[in-house]
């Protein structure tokens, strides 16, 4: 746990406006999981407008970029003062996020023992019916349920929870604090819980954002070979019950997949995207950061989603458009290209 006074060692630009700078905080959070024992960053007005309806009294600490703080009106400033026990300023919220995430990452991960098998240390809880092949590594404080099958070469790192009836096939890797529900199947070469791709450019360097969120996977989920599900930045990446993910799929940090989602091969989903229940993305489709698909949205193979789409939409193309509009556009281009070709 760290106080803002402690964190000044990592970012000298921090200035306390309100509250006790010795008050300890458990972690960093984001607007999706506001908690009273955590620190939140606020960079721009768009973020503030998204945040303000979720605010309540006695939240933890907020670190506001100085440029934004100067732009907030009196009513908005009063809302922050009412909602947060501690308020601080920083020169650049993105840079501060990179600098201050490191001590929290160290606090959570640096002392984990990923060398000695937890079964030797006696720290694991493994059901007697679990089937674990030779050559599998199970780190400390892992919980493995009834009738689980773990194949050779699998690495399950500290603090993971594997629900009843799961099967993890050869050479898959679960990073620390990954949670699988019941009856999941994770195929060979898949990696769950690696850091998301998050960097902030500052003074000629790409500063890493240290990821401290988890990955939570529901029941009856299947993930194909050589796919990746990144851990959340500060709150969890979540995959709903019954979702099926094909081979070579990338699910970015903080992504929220609903129940029964289908992701076909080579799909790529950017960070903090949200897919409602029973969405389908065809092969090689992609989706940018922070966009939302409503329930039952279908994206044709190769489609590139660069905006939100409501429930039941069927889209395709680059950028993705309603499927009939996209197909009419293709027909027009084909017709025009043939017509001009005939003239030559």
CATH superfamily of the 2-109 domain: MurE/MurF, N-terminal domain (3.40.1390.10)
This prediction's pTM = 0.94
Query: What confidence tens digit (pLDDT) does each residue in 26-62 have?
Result: 999 998 888 889 999 999 998 898 888 888 887 899 9
Q: What is the mean pLDDT of residues 298-327?
A: 96
* Chain mean position to CA 261: 16
Q: Nearest to residue 125, comparing CAs of 154, 153, 152, 145?
A: 145
CATH assignment of 118-324, among 3.30.43.10, 3.40.50.20, 2.160.10.10, 3.40.640.10: 2.160.10.10
C-beta separation of 180 from 166 below 8 A: yes
Tokens of 230: 């990144």
How many CB atoms are located within 10 Å of the residue 329 CB? 12
What does the pLDDT read at residue 332? 87
C-beta separation of 183 from 165 below 8 A: yes
DSSP string, 184-253: -EE-TT-EEEEPP--EEEETTEEEEPPP---EEE-TT-EE-TT-EEEPPSSS-EEE-TT-EE-SS-EE-T
Query: What confidence tens digit (pLDDT) does each residue in 283-309 have?
Result: 999 999 999 999 999 999 999 999 999
Please state the domain extents for the chain: 2-109, 118-324
Strands 199-202 and 167-168, bridge-based pairing: unpaired
Judge whether 248 counts as a catalytic residue: no
- Out of 187, 248, 253, 266, which one is annotated catalytic? 253
User: Could you tell me the sign of the dihedral formed by the alpha carbons of 320, 326, 332, 334, in that order?
Assistant: positive
Query: What confidence tens digit (pLDDT) does each residue in 218-235 have?
Result: 999 999 999 999 999 999
What does the pLDDT read at residue 342? 60
Q: Strands across the sheet with 215-217, in order?
A: 125-126, 143-144, 161-162, 178-180, 215-217, 237-239, 256-257, 274-275, 292-293
What does the pLDDT read at residue 189? 98
Q: Nearest to residue 159, comparing CAs of 145, 173, 143?
A: 143
Range of lowest pLDDT (21-35, 86-100, 209-223, 249-263): 21-35
User: Could you tell me the sign of the dihedral formed by the alpha carbons of 177, 178, 182, 187, in that order?
Assistant: negative
> Is residue 247 pLDDT above 80, yes or no?
yes
What does the pLDDT read at residue 343? 56
Q: Give the residues across from 138 on adjacent strands.
A: 156
C-beta separation of 65 from 30 below 8 A: no
C-beta separation of 249 from 227 below 8 A: yes
Query: What confidence tens digit (pLDDT) does each residue in 148-206 have?
Result: 999 999 999 999 999 999 999 999 999 999 999 999 999 999 999 999 999 999 999 99
E strands in 93-195: 125-126, 131-132, 137-138, 143-144, 149-150, 155-156, 161-162, 167-168, 173-174, 178-180, 185-186, 191-194
Q: Nearest to residue 89, comparing CAs of 70, 63, 68?
A: 63
Q: Nearest to residue 98, comparing CAs of 205, 217, 240?
A: 205
Range of lowest pLDDT (21-35, 132-146, 237-251, 271-285): 21-35
Tokens of 63: 């670190």
Strands 155-156 and 173-174, bridge-based pairing: parallel
Q: What is the mean pLDDT of residues 225-253?
A: 98
What does the pLDDT read at residue 341? 66
Q: How far is CA 25 from CA 3, 12, 31, 38, 233, in A?
A: 6, 18, 16, 5, 17
Tell me the C-alpha distance between 30 and 127, whole Å.
36
């Amino acid at each position: 746990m760290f106080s803002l006074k402690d964190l000044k060692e990592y970012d000298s630009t921090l200035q306390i406006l309100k509250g006790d700078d010795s008050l300890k905080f458990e972690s960093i959070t984001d607007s999706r999981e506001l908690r009273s024992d955590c620190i939140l960053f606020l960079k721009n007005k768009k973020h503030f407008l998204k945040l303000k309806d979720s605010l309540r009294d006695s939240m933890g600490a907020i670190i506001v970029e100085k440029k934004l703080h100067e732009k907030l009106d009196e009513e908005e400033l009063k809302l922050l003062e009412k909602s947060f026990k501690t308020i601080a300023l920083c020169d650049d919220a993105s840079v501060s996020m990179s600098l201050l995430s490191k001590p929290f990452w160290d606090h959570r991960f640096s002392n984990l023992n990923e060398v000695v098998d937890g079964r030797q240390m006696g720290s694991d809880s493994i059901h007697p019916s679990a089937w674990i092949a030779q050559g599998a590594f199970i780190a400390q404080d892992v919980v493995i349920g009834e009738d689980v099958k773990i194949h050779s070469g699998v690495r399950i790192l500290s603090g993971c929870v594997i629900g009843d009836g799961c099967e993890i096939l050869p050479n898959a890797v679960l990073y620390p604090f990954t949670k699988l529900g019941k009856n999941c199947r994770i195929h060979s070469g898949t990696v769950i819980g690696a850091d998301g791709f998050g960097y902030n450019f500052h003074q000629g360097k790409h500063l890493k954002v240290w990821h401290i969120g988890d990955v939570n996977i529901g029941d009856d989920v299947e993930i194909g070979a050589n796919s990746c599900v990144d851990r959340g930045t500060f709150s969890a990446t979540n995959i709903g019950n019954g979702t099926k993910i094909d081979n070579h799929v990338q699910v970015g940090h903080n992504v929220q997949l609903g129940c029964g989602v289908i992701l076909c091969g080579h799909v790529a989903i950017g960070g903090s995207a949200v897919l409602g229940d029973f969405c389908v993305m065809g092969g090689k489709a992609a989706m940018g950061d922070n966009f939302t698909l409503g329930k039952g949205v279908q994206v044709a193979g190769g489609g590139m989603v660069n905006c939100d789409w409501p429930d039941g939409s069927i889209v395709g193309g680059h950028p993705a458009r309603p499927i009939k509009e996209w197909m009419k556009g293709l027909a027009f281009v084909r017709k025009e290209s043939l017509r001009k070709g005939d003239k030559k």
